[in-house]
Amino acid sequence: MDVNDALIDEAVKIYKVLSNKNRIKILYFLENHEADVSSIVDHLSIDQPVVSHQLAILYQYQLVTKTKQGKHMYYCLDDPHILKMVDAMLGHVSHEIKGEPHQY
Amino acid sequence: MDVNDALIDEAVKIYKVLSNKNRIKILYFLENHEADVSSIVDHLSIDQPVVSHQLAILYQYQLVTKTKQGKHMYYCLDDPHILKMVDAMLGHVSHEIKGEPHQY
DNA sequence: TTGACATATGTTATATGCAACATATAATAT
DNA sequence: ATATTATATGTTGCATATAACATATGTCAA
């Protein structure tokens, strides 16, 4: 594998984005449908300014897209591939928690 | 996918560990062989206390194992699966950088 | 135009992460 | 015992991340 420095920098940025519970929860909430800010606030019980702020970060790093419809801003997962990677990580930690050995 | 809260907490912890260039570089350096601290310092040109500190974090989160042999502490990747996930992330950002669309 | 609702932004305080540097511990040889 | 090498730990300063709260902007209806 070509372990290029600039590439690692970019990967580190995405890992920082994923290093936050609220952002992960938002990504999962968007897994199967787009949603506006209020519905995210309601379903995840996170304060509105916090949701807006985290969505702005997810948008900045192109993990979500947004579309305005009247008063509502609809956010959509822009990257199912990212969620696949998060799935893999959740699978990994779930084995860690159970004390199971790694799978190769 | 069962999006369990405690699981997300654990995933967030691992993402934080991966949110650092030196740690990623160390993991890649350990990809195919174990290595002692000095050889990591030499090959990656990172100051020794920094390497020791980052290795301690990698060890704490069970991403590496360590074995003492005389004066030397040998570190070994404990988790090829983690590196597979990092590979996937590097592949992802490499497409992002090139402006290519996501693959599904 | 005013009010109500949806969303975003700004501010502050606190917490966390990191490198850099100095220093400590451990192992071995002399 | 002392010196030397290998590694680990502690401290400080700085940058960044976060939540909480207040406030601003935008949209639409009455």
The minimal CB distance from B88 to the residues A16, A85, A94 is found for A85
Q: How confident is the model at residue A101 (pLDDT cuts 50, 70, 90)?
A: low
Given a cut of 90, whether residue A20 has pLDDT beyond it is yes
Beta strands in A13-98 (DSSP E): 35-36, 64-69, 72-77
Other C-beta atoms within 10 Å of B46: how many? 18
Checking if the pLDDT of B64 tops 80, the result is yes
Residue B96: the pLDDT is 79
A62 contacts B81? CB cut-off 8 A: no
Q: What is the pTM of this model?
A: 0.92
Say if CB A63 and CB A82 are below 8 A apart: yes
Does B88 contact A88 at a Cβ distance shorter than 8 Å?
Answer: yes
Q: Which nucleotide has its C1' atom closest to residue A49's CA? A: C8
The residue that minimises its CA distance to C1' of C4 is: A71
Per domain, the residue ranges of chain A are 5-78
Question: Model confidence over A70-95: pLDDT tens digits?
Answer: 999 999 999 899 999 999 999 999 88
CATH topology of domain B5-78: Arc Repressor Mutant, subunit A (1.10.10)
Q: Averaged over B73-98, what is the pLDDT?
A: 92
